[in-house]
């Protein structure tokens, strides 16, 4: 049975999923779920505790409260672990690479699946941003969005983000890493990155975030 209180936003990195989710949450006053941050959380704990043992990582996380927060004047969504905002520690390439490795492990995906589903009970509605939200985690969602954009445009956006954070970036390497991540995500056996059959596919390469938000709002309010 379709659930009209769930909006899923899937797609590769750099297409604007998080920004769209945050803007829709602002408009609708719904709970937001950034599933990518949960995988980065796994990578962060692995690096912090110097362990590749998922059992140890899981034990560390299970004792903590997980939530998301954001400010109206910010485009980013913060991941809160207990009372600590760990977002500054998970937005780097080392954590992203480690998270990607853990994402191929069925036990990790099962663990995070239950955490993601728990967000349904936290508010009036849910906006879930990720890679398999509409296909695996919330297949009952009535509103499913799949965002795309060229690898070049996404690399340009990522370059701007890194520069704003005061970090240097090698554009050719960044572009190649995005293409490689796309290849792995779309061809993996476990929850490949593909649009749900009933998803609305939108190319965000040349559309502003406000126009994108209004386009989605028009669809769900019709």
pLDDT tens across 176-208, in order?
A: 988 988 888 888 888 888 999 999 999 998 888
Give a yes or no: residue 26 inside a domain: yes
Residues 1-21: tens digit of each pLDDT: 889 999 999 999 889 999 999
222 within some domain? no
pLDDT value of residue 125? 94
- Band (pLDDT 50/70/90 cuts) for residue 50 is very high
In tens, the pLDDT along 133-158 reads 999 999 999 999 999 999 999 999 88
In a domain, residue 193? The reply is: yes
pLDDT of res. 72 = 63
CATH number at residue 208: 3.40.50.300
- pTM for this model (two decimals): 0.89
- Per-residue pLDDT at 74 exceeds 80: no
Residue 128 lies in a domain: yes
The string of pLDDT tens digits covering residues 152-170 is 999 998 888 778 777 778 8
**Number of structural domains found in the chain:** 1
Answer yes or no: is 110 within a domain: yes
What pLDDT, on the 0 to 100 scale, is given for residue 47?
Answer: 96
71: containing domain: 3-217
What percentage of residues in the chain have a pLDDT greater than 70? 98
Distances (CA, A) of 180 to 77, 100, 119, 157, 186: 25, 12, 31, 17, 10
116 lies in a domain?
yes
Residue 73, pLDDT above cutoff 70: no
In a domain, 91, yes or no: yes
């Amino acid at each position: 049975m379709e659930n009209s209180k769930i909006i899923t936003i899937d797609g590769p990195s750099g297409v604007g999923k998080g920004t769209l989710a945050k803007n829709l949450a602002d408009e609708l006053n719904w709970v937001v779920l950034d599933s990518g941050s949960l995988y980065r959380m796994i990578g962060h704990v692995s690096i912090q505790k110097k362990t590749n043992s998922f059992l140890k990582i899981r034990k560390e996380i299970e004792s903590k409260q997980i939530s998301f927060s954001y400010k109206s004047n910010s485009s980013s969504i913060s991941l809160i672990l207990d009372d600590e905002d760990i977002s500054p520690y998970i937005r780097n390439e080392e954590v992203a690479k480690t998270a990607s490795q853990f994402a191929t492990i069925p036990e990790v995906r099962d663990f995070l699946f239950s955490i993601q589903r728990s967000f349904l009970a936290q508010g009036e509605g849910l906006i879930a941003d990720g890679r398999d939200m509409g296909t695996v985690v919330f297949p009952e969602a009535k509103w499913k969005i799949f965002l795309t954009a060229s690898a070049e445009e996404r690399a340009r956006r990522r370059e701007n983000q890194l520069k704003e954070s005061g970090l240097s970036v090698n554009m050719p390497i960044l572009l190649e890493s995005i293409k490689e991540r796309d290849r792995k995500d779309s061809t993996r056996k476990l929850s490949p990155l593909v649009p749900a059959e009933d998803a609305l596919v939108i190319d965000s390469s040349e559309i502003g975030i406000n126009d994108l938000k209004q386009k989605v709002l028009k669809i769900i309010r019709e």
